[in-house]
Structure 1
Amino acid sequence: MKTALFDAIKFVALLAGALLLAACSSGPKPPDWQLEAKGSMERSVAAYMEGNTRVEMAELVRARGQLARTGRADLLATAELLHCATRVASLVFEPCAGFEALRQDATQAQRAYADYLRGQLPPQNAALLPEPQRAAAGGNAGAVKGIADPLSQLVAAGVLFQKGQASPAVLQQAVDTASGQGWRRPLLAWLSVQALRAEQGGDAAEAARQRRRMAITQESALTVKEKTVNDIP
């Protein structure tokens, strides 16, 4: 029987085989808590990447509640790592407080991944990472483009940026990936970096072009917000 993984958290779930959904058509129906946690984490990730923090946090709270019913720290740790990974993908570097509260009961692979997200993974622990991340963890900027999963790719780019190892090619790949997925929050973050680097390099025209893209992206966010507010009865 194959085990189906929720695509957006595949690269994190592989850390401990956690949050796996036995969704094979020939198998028994997954428990309700798995389905609820899966759906909430999907919506939480999507909302954050779109820039909707309110929905993101509400869904994260629901997912935490479902996972806590199992009494398993590794499941909760996986959700917290995913939560923090979306931040790194969007160039928001902050302590992963939710995971740190669970660190002592997390798996060795989960602890390694948390260190990776902080840009502080010891080289000898790189083998504990999901395979797509290993080359990027070693500072191989060229490995980012070869990562198939969009979120995983942005995480790898974010880690390299945090360590001061993100080349112009990595920045462009991150912009293209975020743009292709329609992920407003990380797109704005990576465009801002490109604009700043262009300014620092004396390329005013390129900096202006990037800021025009940012303005379009920000305008779309305001339009969606106004529509949402107006639709509330």
Structure 2
Amino acid sequence: MTTSALSCMGLFRGGLLCLAMALAACASGPPAPEWQLNAHGASQKAQNAYLAGDVRVEQLEWDLARREVARTGRPDLLARVELLRCAGRVASLVFEPCSGFEALSADAPAAEKAYARYLAGEAAADDLALLPSAQREAARAANANAAAPLAAITDPLSRLVAAGVQLRTGRATPGSVALAIDTASAQGWRRPLLAWLALQRERAQAAGDAVAAAAVQRRIAIVEQGGVSR
């Protein structure tokens, strides 16, 4: 594997995993290995399927991504695939153990371990220096200003991951929730959109704002019904 490939395989871009070499950086070098291209494509398809709510395609593509990475015999790379999978769940407010990563964590680099703790809402002060800059600022933000660093994250999924971690750690503001909803809506990501809308509805109900809760419920109905009147 080339130096460029190794560099890319070790990077988190905006908090998410880079599984293939950047084309611009590698255009004049040797082609990327087949397993790397296959793993990258499968992981992207799997993540997109999960965010769209397509469980069958998601499972097939994650299995393919794992098989391709397993060809290298490197548990550290396989651990990164599992982290990418878990990041999509945090973005969708599915707060469950990242068991796939935990099974491989003994061979994971320090940055990946720090990122796993971050996703779990358990990042220590020493972990923040190992996080990508965008996620680092979101993790450091005080409760009242939690939404500001989210808006600075340009990658939509990375922004949703950061918002999910803020919620998991009790720091998400109404602005954070609104930004997460806008982000998922703009991408057409059904699963996280429904999760964040449900949260917004619950908060409106808890505040006794029946008008706002009803408005959010109408948005939820549109997504759930696929725009078809029933």
Q: What TM-score, normalized by structure 1, do the two folds share?
A: 0.88
Q: Distance in 2 between matches of 1:5 and 1:69?
A: 18
The aligned counterpart of 1:190 is: 196
Q: Which runs of 4+ in 1 moved over 3 A?
A: 1-6
Unaligned runs of 5+ in 2: none
Deviations 1:86-129 (A, max 9, x none): 00000000000000001110000000000000000001210000
The aligned counterpart of 1:127 is: 129
Q: Give the direction of change, closer, same or farther, for the CA distance of 1:107–1:193 in structure 2 (3 Å limit).
A: same
The aligned counterpart of 1:104 is: 106
Cα drift, residue 42 of structure 1: 0.8
- Contact preservation (8 Å) 2:121, 2:165: yes
Alignment partner of 1:13 out of 13, 17, 20 = 17
Q: What TM-score, normalized by structure 2, do the two folds share?
A: 0.89
- Contact preservation (8 Å) 1:13, 1:20: no
Q: Distance in 2 between matches of 1:32 and 1:92?
A: 32
Alignment partner of 2:183 out of 177, 198, 202 = 177
Q: Distance in 2 between matches of 1:139 and 1:189?
A: 23
- Contact preservation (8 Å) 2:38, 2:65: yes
The aligned counterpart of 2:170 is: 164
What amino acid is the match of 2:21? L
Q: Distance in 2 between matches of 1:12 and 1:179?
A: 20
The aligned counterpart of 1:41 is: 43
Q: Give the direction of change, closer, same or farther, for the CA distance of 1:71–1:221 in structure 2 (3 Å limit).
A: farther
Q: Give the direction of change, closer, same or farther, for the CA distance of 1:5–1:107 in structure 2 (3 Å limit).
A: closer
Q: Distance in 2 between matches of 1:44 and 1:206?
A: 34
Q: Distance in 2 between matches of 1:152 and 1:84?
A: 12
Unaligned runs of 5+ in 1: 224-233
SS at match of 1:157: helix
SS at match of 2:106: helix
SS at match of 2:16: helix
Q: Percent same amino acid among aligned pairs? A: 51
Q: Give the direction of change, closer, same or farther, for the CA distance of 1:221–1:121 in structure 2 (3 Å limit).
A: farther
The aligned counterpart of 2:33 is: 31
The aligned counterpart of 2:95 is: 93
Q: Give the direction of change, closer, same or farther, for the CA distance of 1:143–1:32 in structure 2 (3 Å limit).
A: same
What amino acid is the match of 1:205? V
- Contact preservation (8 Å) 1:139, 1:160: no
